[in-house]
Amino acid sequence: MNFQLTQEQEMLVEAVRSFVTRELLPHEEEVDRADAVSPELAAQIRGKAIAAGFYAFNMPEEVGGGGLDYLSQALVERELSRVSWALHVFVARPSKILMACKDRQIDDYLIPCVQGEKTDCFALTEPGAGSDANAIKTRAVREGDDFVINGSKHFISHAGHADFAIVFAVTDTYEHNGRKRNAVTAFLVDRGTPGMTVRRGPKCVSNRGYHTYELFFDDCRVPASKVLGEVDKGWEVANAWLTAGRVMVAANCVGQAQRAMDLALQWAADRKQFGQAIGSYQGVSFKLADMATQIRAAELLTLHTAWKMDQGSMSDGEAGMAKLFASEVLGKVADEAVQIFGGMGLMDEGPVERIWRNARIERIWEGTSEIQRHIISRELLRPLLR
């Protein structure tokens, strides 16, 4: 096995790292305190990301994207996540599900998203359907050339400033192994479409400045030309990208954990108690050893999984392992970093309490740790159970 990054990958990592240091990190504290990113700052980051060639790095070259393979994408995600999601989200990665666009959708949605002229949001979760996405109740009923959508969504990231939402709604039901299942369709619903209301959701402790929204659909009429992919085939469109997304979340966790580690290491060398650097006590230095070891394992697992995705040989369970392990390592490392900082670790004058707060969401979104364990164990047991 070759664990050496290519020269291009090394240069990419260096370029993204200096972009984060120069353009994003200086704003992190102010954005966290204000719990908001001004439209001017958002536009500035977007413009600089486009100029630097980082915008839409996840999208294929043939539609104008960066065309990075999954391993390189994971490296970029690792670097970007040294700063809060509230900021690096503006180095946009349009939902790759948009590759299912066809006909006019390509010029109306896909290309503008890749070029930074439009932004999307992904609207699946509902108050009654989180981990159990199949339980969504939002319905779309065909009426002539239109679909009429009724229902609601919550926890939808960026819906307040997105130009359109990719909305998942039930369009049919069928029996599978004696259980009723929903056939689901994905729709492209423009902001301002009559019948769709967007409302800011509750405040979140992680990534202040990164907001979620509630969407309400009340006889919201969209033409059939706004169906993304095929009618009743919404899961087919969504699942492939959701699985890939988990590996990218794992890469985000590795970057955040490494940042916490770097801060804790420096503090352990600088902070003196009982006349010595606290890092000279094994109670602290062994924590650092464990943190570094866990981060290395999470990083290798994540990059190996991304590499497998590039080879076309990654399974859902393997993506789940990377997401599960890296997000749990981040949780432990962030907590130990606070411990090494002592009281200062909980004060909002430094980034450690921010990293600790931000880390918490990673075990919940894109499939909770319990759901990842479910996916992994189901894959292990499936060949043995009848």
Ligand X SMILES: Cc1cc2nc3c(=O)[nH]c(=O)nc-3n(C[C@H](O)[C@H](O)[C@H](O)COP(=O)(O)OP(=O)(O)OC[C@H]3O[C@@H](n4cnc5c(N)ncnc54)[C@H](O)[C@@H]3O)c2cc1C
Our finding on whether 266 is near ligand X (CB under 6 A) is no
Our finding on whether 124 is near ligand X (CB under 6 A) is yes
Task: Using the minimum distance from each CB to ligand X, give the nearer residue, 41 or 123.
Answer: 123
Which residue stretch of 28-36, 252-260, 334-342, 361-369 sits at the interface with ligand X (rule: CB under 6 A)? 361-369
Q: Which two tokens stand for residue 115?
A: 């070029």
Smallest gap from Cβ 374 to ligand X, in A, equals 6
Our finding on whether 119 is near ligand X (CB under 6 A) is no
Which residue stretch of 93-101, 255-263, 312-320, 362-370 sits at the interface with ligand X (rule: CB under 6 A)? 362-370
**C-alpha to C-alpha distance for 25 and 5, rounded to whole angstroms:** 26
Select from 174, 175, 157 the least CA-distant residue to 166. 157
Q: Which helix (H) or strand (E) holds 117?
A: none
366 catalytic residue (yes or no): yes
Subset of residues 190 to 229 that bind ligand X, contact rule: CB under 6 A: 204, 212
Are 271 and 350 in contact by the 8 Å Cβ rule? The answer is no
Backbone phi, psi, residue 325, to 5°: -70, -45
Subset of residues 15 to 74 that bind ligand X, contact rule: CB under 6 A: none
Our finding on whether 130 is near ligand X (CB under 6 A) is yes
**C-alpha to C-alpha distance for 237 and 98, rounded to whole angstroms:** 9
Helix (H, G, I), strand (E, B) or coil at 386: coil
Choice among 230, 318, 366, 370 that is catalytic: 366
Our finding on whether 344 is near ligand X (CB under 6 A) is no
Our finding on whether 187 is near ligand X (CB under 6 A) is no
- Sketch the per residue contact string, 141 through 160, with ligand X: x for CB under 6 A, - otherwise: --------------xxx---
Instruction: Enumerate residues 6+ apart whose C-beta is below 8 A from 186.
Output: 97, 100, 166, 167, 168, 227, 228, 229, 234, 237, 238
Q: Which two tokens stand for residue 293?
A: 């070891």
Backbone phi, psi, residue 64, to 5°: 95, 5
Buried b (16+ CB within 10 A) or exposed e, 137-159: ebbbeeeeebbbbbbbbbbbbbb
- Residue that has been written with the tokens 């009426």 in this structure: 143
- Residue that has been written with the tokens 């000279």 in this structure: 280
Task: Using the minimum distance from each CB to ligand X, give the nearer residue, 80 or 291.
Answer: 80
Task: Using the minimum distance from each CB to ligand X, give the nearer residue, 86 or 314.
Answer: 86
Task: Using the minimum distance from each CB to ligand X, give the nearer residue, 190 or 310.
Answer: 190
Buried b (16+ CB within 10 A) or exposed e, 212-221: bbbbbbeebe
Task: Using the minimum distance from each CB to ligand X, give the nearer residue, 279 or 331.
Answer: 331
Smallest gap from Cβ 181 to ligand X, in A, equals 16
Our finding on whether 163 is near ligand X (CB under 6 A) is no
Task: Using the minimum distance from each CB to ligand X, give the nearer residue, 128 or 223.
Answer: 128
Residues designated catalytic: 366
Which positions lie near ligand X, rule CB under 6 A?
121-125, 130-131, 155-157, 204, 212, 361, 364-365, 368, 370-371, 374
